[in-house]
Amino acid sequence: MADLTYENTLRELHTDEGVLRYHEAGDGPPLLMLHGSGPGVSGWRNYRGNLAVFAEHFRCLVLEFPGFGVSDPTDQHPMMAAPAAVVRFLAGLGLEQVDVIGNSMGGIVAANLAIAQPNLFRRIVTIGGVGRNILSPGPGEGINLLMDFTDNPTRESLISWLHSMVYDRSIVTEEMIEERWALATEPKTLESARRMYSRKAMTATAAAAASSDQPPYWAMLHKITAPTLITWGRDDRVSPVDMALLPLRTLPRGEIHIFPNCGHWVMIEQKAAWESVVLAFLTRPDSE
């Protein structure tokens, strides 16, 4: 396969709510790849290292969520805007069912959609984040550092948050810090992040959830009928691994793989092992 670059994989889909940008590579069954949240995140940065491997088997579609500085911005809370963006995206491409990989926030978005539309996904892979804290404090260390950065965006607070994302700090290079800093401090992107991760926003979200009559998504995971693979880093300090206990028990067709010496970015920090496990799951015959 030819080298996959940012430029030669970037696409645009014009919708009635703005332009959705995405990266496309490969042929075969469609595989939707949904990124996580946090300062300077993008779908390309989450999955650029994995794209060539999966593009050998799938038509990979790496969607950029509104509110993170790549697709057109949104006035909504980014988490609230994301599921509708996925629905618009798939409809715009004429896709009725896809496989999906969701990292952290992307996994939660996929779970919510799978609860509401059981036939949307053939198979689901999540990377950390799906579930709720059972034994560990909530919010976790990484989320607290994320709130610190959002309220007071300094280079030092960005580095502290990035270090919380990984087991091996050498992964956090100067190049990573600089590219993350540039996007995270772009005014519209920072404004959007504050709707999601400022301490004020997080407190309001927790209060709304506590007073709501609607069950949280993690209490509805039993409604997900698609085979689901939960992947997690054993040393995740953003979404501690005990969060996986609830989905492991409640997902009817769920299974889990926990990777050692690995933080929140499993697809980066345990790249080869994670790719092997996920490809085996996605290509397993349906009869099994």
Residues annotated as catalytic are: 264
The answer to whether residues 68 and 41 touch, using CB atoms and an 8 Å cutoff, is: yes
**Long-range CB pairs of 210-218, under 8 A, 24+ apart, other chains included:** 216/132, 217/108, 217/111, 217/112, 217/115, 218/130, 218/131, 218/132, 218/246, 218/247
Q: For tokens 């042929």, what's the residue?
A: 27
**Cis previous bond, 66, omega within 30:** no
Q: Encoding tokens for residue 65?
A: 């969520």
Q: What is the CA radius of gyration of the chain?
A: 18
Distance CA 79, CA 67 (A): 9
Distance CA 192, CA 273 (A): 34
Distance CA 50, CA 288 (A): 26
